[in-house]
């Protein structure tokens, strides 16, 4: 049993806002998301959720512009992902001109999944691509 008495875990509870939805996905499917037990918020439009994963599991961050999203006067929507306070980020642009829309309102859901990040290898000077992968969490007991 889960805290709310249901036999099944909560599914996809990350809130959507303004017809924009973000999910953590593995094997093409969104992971079950759990609320922050402390119910903390990180500020306006920032949410903290937890997922259950295995160390080494590859994942993606899927950004969805849900049907009905309105560009208003903007020519594009810019999505940016930063992980673990990294100096670099991954970016994607949803251009209004290439989407099926009527007066700026999209007629079908559009999505993009961030799956990897590029880093410059300082030793070789070459750029290398690394897939997003969950690392191990460590815990230690303090005396």
Q: Which two tokens stand for residue 86?
A: 């990294």
Instruction: Report CA torsion sign: 11, 16, 20, 22.
Output: negative
Distance of CA 65 to the CA centre of its chain: 12
Three-state secondary-structure class, residue 98: helix
Number of domains in the chain: 1
Measure the CA dihedral 29/67/82/53, to 10°. Answer: -20
Q: How many CB atoms lie within 10 A of CB 21?
A: 19
Give pLDDT < 50 ranges for the chain.
1-13
Query: What is the domain extent for residue 64?
Result: 20-131
121 found inside a domain: yes
108 found inside a domain: yes
pTM here?
A: 0.76
142 found inside a domain: no
């Amino acid at each position: 049993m889960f805290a709310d008495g249901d036999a099944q875990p909560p599914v996809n509870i990350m809130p959507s806002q303004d017809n924009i939805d973000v999910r953590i996905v593995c094997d093409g499917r969104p992971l079950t998301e759990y609320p922050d037990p402390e119910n903390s918020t990180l500020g306006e439009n920032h949410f903290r959720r937890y997922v259950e994963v295995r160390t080494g599991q590859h994942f993606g961050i899927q950004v969805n512009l849900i049907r009905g999203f309105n560009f208003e006067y903007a020519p594009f929507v810019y999505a940016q992902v930063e992980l673990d306070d990294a100096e670099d980020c991954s970016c994607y642009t949803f251009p209004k001109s290439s989407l099926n829309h009527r007066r700026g309102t999209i007629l079908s859901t559009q999505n993009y999944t961030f799956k990897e990040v590029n880093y410059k290898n300082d030793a070789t000077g070459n750029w290398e691509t690394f897939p997003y992968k969950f690392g191990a969490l460590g815990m230690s007991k303090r005396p």
